[in-house]
Chains A and B, each alone.
Chain A
């Protein structure tokens, strides 16, 4: 995420610009942040995960979205493009259009050095305020490692980590099981 400071924009102005734009930008607190492309490992991880989720959720009402699905965090005003998001059951969108999702059940971010602190810290903090969100998955792109945060009945978030290729990760939000060997297939880890 590269910073591109501009004058203060309202959320409506952002959405109007964004819906016509040729490249994606996130929005927070009056500012738009242009999104950069990603390395091969990042792309393969997103694709492998999406393929696994898609395969396992086809016969159910769940929907899995790639990073062109904008997600809006109502309580903080953030508009962002998670690497992968998924919804179970009814989908809620901003403005009656279908380009800005309000109620993801699962959000996935593939980590990169420039965004890791944000994804683990303030972005996660904002995602936590989405009531529908049950799981937040962070996938490392420089080694085999995943961190899954699951919302508990008392509102706390439980961390489950995995780092061996023979391990499997259960995503209860979408009733899917992901083998780390499938997730990291063909991914060249460059450290």
Chain B
């Protein structure tokens, strides 16, 4: 009974509005919502738009690279920090610190760093490397990778912290036993520790995937979807359509596509992981 009101509120504001958005995506709504049923026309319009294809392609590139790089860098840093080194607390804070910034700050800072007339490129040219060239930010087709760089910079420290916590939770006895059996440090990690950290991988991946799909502020601050529309993402596309172009129906259709993408990736993964845990019991 105690949780009933909050349950009701949750049902309405999350699932109720998901339902509302689905319905709006099936209408001709432009400036304001309209409730006359139209059909799947908005979805056909959406998939006929070049810009949407660019956005989806970018989302794919971004998600895959962001996920791989964050997990890879996170694990490597965590393992290195786990070697009982000196000043671990200090280093850990340094790596974790970017997480304390908002994506807007990260985006703005990297925008300046990567700007060819202000940042890295100018710096290297000024100190004598005249042919040094690093203008991804202003090169269509490459700008999406600058978003990846900034996002990885921001999030990999957090992933490191998750993995570090995971590493610490592993019983020392197991590692000692493996050492006695003559296992090297590499095989201890690859064959014993990492497989034991499966639940940690799950948390990390779920967090990263949902960050990637809803990524909006970083893109806006760093490239604003540009140059041109080359670093557009579905979330940017959706806000553009809903609030700048008076295409609420089309925006709802794109929101539903994003929703389905998240569901398609995350739900099966969660299901298989949770099921595995059930089997173990």
Is this pair of chains taken from one and the same complex?
no
B interface, CB within 8 angstroms of A: none
